[in-house]
Amino acid sequence: MERVLVTGGAGFIGSHLVDALVEDHEVVVLDDLSGGRIENIEAHMTRSNFTFVQGSITSEEDIAKALDGVSTVFHFAAQPDVRLSVMKPLWDFTINVHGSMLLLDNMRRRDIRRMVFASSGGTVYGDADVFPTPESIPFRPISNYGAAKGAFEMYLSSYAELYGINSVSMRFANIIGPRSTHGVIYDFYMKLKRDPTRLEVLGDGSQEKAYVYVSDAVDAAVMLAEKMWPGYQPVNVGSGQRLKVSQIAEIVRSELGVPDARIEYTGTRRGWAGDVIVTDIDVSRLRSFGWFPKVDIEDGVRLYIRWLVETFGPVGV
């Protein structure tokens, strides 16, 4: 059984990845629980092929514990919030660039040669001028989060060339699904839970983004890890489907049973500083592996809303 490390494995996407990997791998999770929850991995705690290291990618000591005997690293730990990266740039850098580098360089020193990295298709391209945006387009991030993801990808490129560490960087679309506690759908649900009569939407509703359901994102990660080839390779990972914020607001209202809640747009073109207005990633490279998503994205939005209601309760009572 191959031993793999999932950093951020107690988080939203990381924990779904752990669920998939633990069936036929020895899995180590390194997570400081700053955003993740122990409940997400609780089911595996008693398994002999599962190890949880509570610690940070910013600590060499924690990294050393987690890397013991590992041959592939799925690097999903991050400060994942674009808005926070704008407010606290150096803190974002410490986790997303310096922490990632500490991990990568400790892999180099232990001759661990495979990394699968959770990058971000929307934010590394920023305000792209080619749609759908292929992997070959230069980075033009407009948030510090996007800059950090792009910066670390550049090190993946140099570490592949200099030290033979092979990597695939998944430039993810927005990922939705159970266990996610951030993003536009979560925000809308929480707002309607506080006040079911009105829904404030940041921006003018026309922002349009690429999405993928979490089970599909994980399926693509496992497939790309199995296929990993020499060098550094970026791959856009998305369903190929996009949704407008206004469409999401409509689906959320109707699925939560409050179709008359008043939608109030704040009216700006961008939702917030660092918000990319349109993301549309070209997924042909991913499809060239014969990979296709299984979940239609509107169905995915509904599945996720049902999970929110089951977990945090219905709206309007």
Which CB atom, from 264 or from 272, has the smaller least distance to ligand NAD? 272
How many positions of this chain bind ligand NAD (CB under 6 A)? 29
In the chain, alpha helices (H)? 12-21, 60-67, 82-87, 89-93, 100-109, 121-125, 144-163, 184-194, 214-227, 245-255, 284-287, 297-312
106 is a site residue for ligand NAD (CB under 6 A):
no
Q: Which region, judged by CB under 6 A, interacts with ligand NAD, from 12-20, 84-92, 154-162, 239-247?
A: 12-20
Shortest Å, Cβ 168 to ligand NAD: 14
Within residues 265-304, the interface with ligand NAD by CB under 6 A covers none
Among candidates 215, 222, 255, which has minimal Cα distance to 239? Answer: 215
Q: Which region, judged by CB under 6 A, interacts with ligand NAD, from 171-179, 222-230, 273-281, 302-310?
A: 171-179
Upper half-sphere CA count for residue 19 (Cβ side, 13 Å): 19
Sole residue written with tokens 């990394």 = 115
Distance CA 182, CA 296 (A): 21
Q: Which region, judged by CB under 6 A, interacts with ligand NAD, from 72-80, 127-135, 196-204, 265-273?
A: 72-80
| 132: its two tokens | 């759908």
31 is a site residue for ligand NAD (CB under 6 A):
yes
* Options 145, 159, 189, 211, the catalytic residue: 145
Shortest Å, Cβ 267 to ligand NAD: 25
| 149: its two tokens | 């993801």
Task: Give the residue, chosen from 49, 58, 106, 247, that forms a contact with ligand NAD under the rule CB under 6 A.
Answer: 58
Distances (CA, A) of 20 to 32, 83, 156, 223, 277: 21, 30, 25, 11, 33
Task: Give the residue, chosen from 6, 66, 118, 202, that forms a contact with ligand NAD under the rule CB under 6 A.
Answer: 118
Chain centroid to Cα 143, Å, comes to 16
Within residues 76-105, the interface with ligand NAD by CB under 6 A covers 76-80, 95, 99
Strands 26-31 and 208-213, sheet pairing: unpaired
Shortest Å, Cβ 63 to ligand NAD: 9
- Three-class SS of residue 32? coil
125 is a site residue for ligand NAD (CB under 6 A):
no
Shortest Å, Cβ 20 to ligand NAD: 14
Distance CA 74, CA 4 (A): 7
Shortest Å, Cβ 15 to ligand NAD: 8
Task: Give the residue, chosen from 51, 85, 143, 174, that forms a contact with ligand NAD under the rule CB under 6 A.
Answer: 174
Shortest Å, Cβ 145 to ligand NAD: 7
Beta bridge partners of 175: 212
Residue 145 designated active-site: yes
Residue 183 near residue 211, CB atoms below 8 Å: no
Residues known to be catalytic: 145
Question: Would you tell me which residues interact with ligand NAD (CB under 6 A)?
Answer: 7-8, 10-14, 30-36, 56-58, 76-80, 95, 99, 118, 120, 172, 174-175
